[in-house]
Amino acid sequence: MSDAVAAAGAPAHVEHAGHEEPGFLRTYIFSTDHKMIGRQFLFLGLFMMVLGGLFALLVRWELAWPETAVPGFGWVPEPYMFGGIIPPDFYNSLFTMHATLMIFFVIMPILVGCFGNFLIPLMIGARDMAFPVLNMLSFWVGALAGVIMLSSFLVQGGAAAAGWTSYAPLAAQPIYTGVNWGQNLWCISLIILGISSLMGSINYITTIINMRAPGMTLFRLPLVIWSLFIVAILLLLALPVLTSALAMLLFDRTLGTSFFLPAGGGEPLLWQHLFWFFGHPEVYILILPAMGIASDILSTFARKPIFGYRSMAYAMIAIAFLSWIVWGHHMFVSGMNPALGTSFMLSTMVIAVPSAIKTFNWLGTLWGGKIRFTVPMLHALAFVSMFVIGGLSGIFMASTPVDIFIHDTYYIVAHIHYVVFGGSVFGIFAAITYWFPKLFGRMMNEALGKVHWLLSFIAFNCTFFPMHILGVGGHMRRIYNPTQYQFLLPLQPINVFITLSALLLGLSQLIFVVNFFASLFGWNAGWFRSGARVLAAAVAGYFPVGYLGRSSALAWGLFAVIFAAVFWFLRGMDAFGATASRNPWNANTLEWQADSPPPHGNWGPTLPTVYRGPYEYSSPEVPEDYLPQARRLAGAAAPAH
Amino acid sequence: MLRWLPEDVSTYGPEVDRLFYIIYYLTGVVFILVAACLVYFLVRYRHREGDGRRATYTHGSTTLEIVWTVIPSLILVVLFFMSRVTWARIKEAVPPAAVTVQLTAKQFNWEMVYPGPDGKFDTADDLKIDNELHVPVNQNVHVILQSRDVIHSFYLPNLRLRQDVVPGRQIVAWFNATAPGKYEIPCSQLCGFGHSGMRGWLFVHTPEDYRRWVEEHWPAPAASSPPPSKS
């Protein structure tokens, strides 16, 4: 990576230094600055997370107390809800849109859209992405896709209701679901979102290959950049398959074709093959950035190099390669040739190995460390432990005979939520709490963050672990009323427990919302600070009441105890939104050498030069326990990693 | 956790459950070891003010990498070979049937068609019964699965059997029930707004009861004990 090429990277931004300040629109709305675009993706994702979470809570309400009115939802008009009661077709839309929003409009925008955009130029020492205007377009095209997706609720027939997996023929003919334009808009939205992601992928790959600062070799890249690089390639290759499948589905629905309709000579299983050929790389797209984030955060707060850096990078590459040949494990009982079940089982067993390697390397990173339990570290540790559970539960599904039994049961639901919530969402919390100072120039409140973490961790496990039990009992997915089945009646109390836990999990997120916005805007009025403490303590204290009921004296006794404990714990909490220094975590990677937040163009007149890898913590070369990548040591040549 | 498994009344059920238990103990042990390591490391290597300790500066260990790559790989490959045998037995090596029933799934119920004493479908003595699958105990049963509209899924929890039912093709699934009883047949693949509650019943009869059921539905003018229908 020659200096000349690096210097030629983005000269336009350096020259901007003398121009007039761009107006509000160009700064906040139509910005081509990767940092602002990253923030835009973050807000899009967080907004959609609230909606997606709300849909999940409605689904959970129905499962625990079927055909009862949801409190506070009487205002929802027919035919969506009837006096607060969810009908079966709207229920199908709710879980469909829950998954669609969470996967496509929460995890991808936040992990790939926000942190990809924000971190890549900063961590490689570039001034911006290779194609800033394309970058801006990728956000607005993505936002358009979001608007289209949400608008699908408003058309006659309602929103898509065939599951996020949208199997044909159910999804291929309006008559089968009763949903007409809602499903079409679902297809169109995802096609458009695919375009947004493809634009992003092109940008990420080009930028990482071409715009690294002098000395930043590939094996000096932080693992989060490795993960985003690999994810960009996966997206580039997988999305066209999804887009094609969606187009074919749309044509079957609207133009009278028969790609998936047997009456016209089509093949229903073709949809599944196409969808899962995209779908399996997609789930690794969802988890890989969180793995990269966890690696960086664990290393930073254990004050130790990541254990086995090259193995970690190679493991991610192996996962990416293998992810193309395992898709059939979603289709073991689909009716495809059973011989394929055997071959896909083998590849699925094999893909577990690189994930296992990464887990052991994370443990190795902690061994012998000097561990600080900051909020980002807590979330990263939650990521590792919850991902282990999610990964281990996957082994049951990999074994085809066992999968015959647990396929399409709540065992699968447990697995997916342990990896996407326990994995990706805790990864998101880790990333937000870690890079908040760099994103917004302010610190999030540490004490409040710890309360949010603990409540989320407990409620998360109480919500999703029992789902394994439901699955073992044979409880199917996507059913509206479990009490319709005799063999499920003994499991119903577990459904109630799960719903109560889910409600508590939802409540706990209020604490994060308060922390996020209060820190962003520096709200420190006395009444507000007290109110925040009361909210956090009340949510924590509500846990026993949620489970034992409002008429239980014991519950209220416990409420009082927990309330007092949390209120006391928060007594010395810092001000919201304290100004962040350049490097509040004493971390090594390049972004911490820029201001918080970095100015347009990220670095001053000269780009940083990289002398070492990203994980030189507790290095014997210096007395401090960190050694930034761009710090030049007197008399030392740049050592090879 | 596995005590929640529904009662197993299938000839291949014990094999499936055995794999379930093996994986359960295997993953259980791995989880406990990993969690114990994690907790131990977090406690032992936490930062304590003023102890002057510095973290151990190491970049890894190639030996350890090899060890923890090879061991999981071996375990998983063994698991593969064990699973493969059972899978072939259930899905590939379909044994000859003593009883055959055609199951047509539609939004939102199951239609069972019995071939009758002549053992052939599409003949005069075929009988269609909605949502009821009657079979004798300890006999191989074939179900010929087809769909009128969308993909459904034939799920017999107590028989450890599941097979998606795909329109445009016929799929043969088989089972052999080891105990009489009445078991639910839920649909196990989202098939529309009536998916929840789409459910049939499997009746596994003792030989005597089965004979009685056949006689009741195909009153035999001459035969004293009509043979079970053969495909």
Please, are residues A614 and A221 in contact by the beta-carbon 8 Å criterion?
yes
Chain B interface test: which of A252, A402, A465 (most B C-beta within 10 Å): A402
Alpha-carbon span A263 to A277, nearest angstrom: 25
Chain A: give the shortest CA distance to residue B38, in Å. Answer: 7
pLDDT at B52: 86
In this structure, which amino acid lies at residue B44?
R
User: Residue A401: is the preceding peptide bond cis (ω within 30°)?
Assistant: no
In the block, residue with structure tokens 């068609």 = B113
Find the CB nearest B1 among A262, A401, A472. A472
Q: Does A219 touch chain B (CB under 8 A)?
A: no
Chain A: give the shortest CA distance to residue B224, in Å. Answer: 37
pLDDT at A3: 42
- Give exposure, A215-236, as e/b (b: 16+ Cβ within 10 Å): bbeeebbbbbbbbbbbbbbbbb
Q: How far is CA A386 from CA A56, A101, A291, B35, in A?
A: 20, 22, 12, 10
Q: Decide if B64 and A477 are in contact by the 8 Å CB cutoff.
A: no
- For A509-560, the pLDDT digits (tens) are 999 999 999 999 999 999 999 999 999 999 999 999 999 999 999 999 999 9
Say if B2-92 and B99-217 have the same CATH topology.
Answer: no
In 3-state terms chain B splits into helix, strand, coil percentages (rounded to 5) of: 35, 30, 40
Chain A: give the shortest CA distance to residue B199, in Å. Answer: 8
What is the average pLDDT value for chain B, to the nearest integer? Answer: 93
Q: Decide if B65 and A381 are in contact by the 8 Å CB cutoff.
A: no
For residues B208-231, give the mean pLDDT.
Answer: 74
pLDDT at A19: 53
Alpha-carbon span A265 to A185, nearest angstrom: 26
pLDDT at A636: 56
Chain A residues whose CB is inside 8 A of the B168 CB are 262-263, 266-268
Find the CB nearest B55 among A91, A469, A625. A625
Superfamily of domain B99-217: Cupredoxins -  blue copper proteins (2.60.40.420)
Enumerate the domain spans of chain B: 2-92, 99-217
Chain B residues whose CB is inside 8 A of the A398 CB are 79
Chain B residues whose CB is inside 8 A of the A314 CB are none
Q: Does A363 touch chain B (CB under 8 A)?
A: yes
What's the pLDDT band for B51 if we cut at 50, 70, 90? Answer: confident
Query: What would the DSSP string read from start to end of B13-51?
Result: HHHHHHHHHHHHHHHHHHHHHHHHHHHHHHHHTB--TT-
Between positions 427 and 486 of A, the ones with CB within 8 A of B are 468-469, 472-474, 476-481, 484-486
pLDDT at A197: 97
Alpha carbon distance, N-terminus to C-terminus of chain A = 16
pLDDT at A28: 85
Chain B residues whose CB is inside 8 A of the A177 CB are 192-193
Nearest-CA residue of chain B relative to A262?
B168
Chain B: give the shortest CA distance to residue A517, in Å. Answer: 30
| Residue B172 pLDDT > 50 | yes
The complex scores an ipTM of 0.93
Chain A residues whose CB is inside 8 A of the B164 CB are 333-335
pLDDT at A637: 54
Where in chain B does DSSP place strands (E)? 99-106, 109-114, 127-130, 132-136, 140-147, 152-156, 161-165, 171-176, 181-186, 199-205
- For A379-428, the pLDDT digits (tens) are 999 999 999 999 999 999 999 999 999 999 999 999 999 999 999 999 99
Question: Which of A440, A431, A476 minimizes the C-alpha distance to A45?
Answer: A431
Angle made by CA atoms A376, A377, A383, in degrees to the nearest 5: 90
CATH of B2-92, one of 3.30.70.20, 2.60.40.1120, 1.10.287.90, 1.20.120.530: 1.10.287.90
Q: Average pLDDT per run of 10 along chain A, which is 641 residues long?
A: 41 46 84 96 98 98 97 94 96 98 98 98 97 97 98 96 97 96 98 97 98 97 98 98 98 97 97 98 98 98 97 98 97 96 96 97 97 98 98 97 97 98 98 98 97 98 98 97 97 98 98 97 95 97 96 96 97 94 97 96 94 97 96 69 45
- Residue A535's Cβ-count burial label (10 Å; 0-12, 13-18, 19+) is middle
CB pairs under 8 A between A and B: 277
Between positions 483 and 542 of A, the ones with CB within 8 A of B are 484-487, 491
